Amino acid sequence: MSEHTTYRDAIQLSSGAPNCKTQCGKIFALILSRYPGRVPLYEIFPLAKQYNARIFSLRRWLWPKGFDINCEEEWVDGQCHTWYRLVCTIPEPAKPETPKVETPWQDRPRSTGLPLFDLVVRS
């Protein structure tokens, strides 16, 4: 027991069960290999039976890095088809807008068509 830091590590190593990091790593490698495409759920399911918990932990790990795992569902003939996809959450930089230059009031088009009334400045 002295070589293991916690009981959980010792139990996982002795039982031969893969730890969460290995399952998360396999799922992340699969999703990353298909980027920007989608990965169907039936390919993720054999990697971790509790795939939802592993994807949740991947989302918490990826979010500060500017990525997320998006879930997409589609119903076909009464069956739900589910895909997962890696998406970038960092918005593209906004293009600076050029300021609008207003034309002087003398150059604006006439609104009434009467020269005396259109030239009066209204406050």
- Tell me the per-residue pLDDT of 32-77, one tens digit each, with 9 for 90 and over: 888 889 999 989 988 888 888 889 988 988 888 888 999 999 999 9
Contact 30, 43 (CB under 8 A): yes
- Token pair, residue 100, equals 């609008």
Distance (Å, whole) CA 89 – CA 69:
10
82, pLDDT greater than 80:
yes
Q: Determine the pLDDT at residue 74.
A: 92
Distance (Å, whole) CA 71 – CA 80:
12
12, pLDDT greater than 50:
no
Distance (Å, whole) CA 111 – CA 82:
59
pLDDT band for position 1 (cuts 50, 70, 90): very low
What SS3 class is residue 71?
strand
Q: Which residues pair with 88 in a beta bridge?
A: 67
Q: Determine the pLDDT at residue 16.
A: 38
* Arch. (CATH architecture) of 7-88: Alpha-Beta Complex (3.90)
16 or 37, higher pLDDT: 37
Domain layout of the chain by residue ranges: 7-88
Q: Determine the pLDDT at residue 18.
A: 40
Q: What is the pLDDT of residues 88-100, one digit of tens each?
A: 887 777 777 777 7
pLDDT band for position 14 (cuts 50, 70, 90): very low
User: Residue range 6-32: average pLDDT?
Assistant: 62
Distance (Å, whole) CA 58 – CA 69:
8
Rounded to 10°, the helix 20-33/51-62 angle is 70
